[in-house]
Amino acid sequence: MPDRHLEPTRTLIKLGQPEQDEWALSRVEEGLPSRRPVIVPLALWREHGEEPGLAPWLTSDTEIDAPLAAELSRAPLVAIDFPAFTDGRGYTLARLLRERHAYRGEIRAIGDVLVDQLYYMTRCGFDALALREDQHLEDALRALGAFSVSYQPAVDQSEALFERRLRENDQA
């Protein structure tokens, strides 16, 4: 496949910091691009996953069962596509990978990724965020720090706020 089918590099935030994205993204279902490293559709990655410099991206309707999770555990990163900002299934996929299947690699949000979603994506287990082209890096970094306290448990904080406060009071 010619490399002209690769999407342009987008602004990437990884672990809360801007980073130069070394990974290209291909949405074409057939034929591998020559450029590496590259993120390719899951089916293509499954065919060629042993080749270095390949990572899969998952559609929002992917069902992650134990066999797939075991396959994904050898991927250097897993990208999860948000086809529209209103499609929240990607949050669930990231949380399942982190909590149920103990995935420790990079989980990257791709697709229709907006500044308003970033904080919640990190709470669900995303550690890399590829912003939509019209989103501004400065706004995104500000949005990541918008909340200083979270009430609910999530991937990034396993205890609810009341549990943390009870534990702190017991230790005092």
Tell me which residue has tokens 């591998």.
32
At 24-43, the pLDDT tens digits run 999 988 888 888 999 999 99
Instruction: Specify whether the CB–CB gap between 28 and 152 falls below 8 A.
Output: no
Q: In angstroms, rounded to a whole number, what is the distance separating the alpha carbons of residues 37 and 93?
A: 23
Give how far Cα 116 sits from Cα of 91, 93, 98, 113, 130, Å: 14, 19, 22, 9, 13
Q: What is the pTM of this model?
A: 0.89
Q: In angstroms, rounded to a whole number, what is the distance separating the alpha carbons of residues 167 and 138?
A: 36
Instruction: Specify whether the CB–CB gap between 99 and 155 falls below 8 A.
Output: yes
pLDDT of residue 1: 44
The structure tokens listed for 41 are: 């559709």
With a cut of 50, which residues of the chain have pLDDT below it? Answer: 1-2
pLDDT of residue 35: 85
Instruction: Specify whether the CB–CB gap between 156 and 122 falls below 8 A.
Output: yes
The helix (H) or strand (E) run that includes residue 2 is none
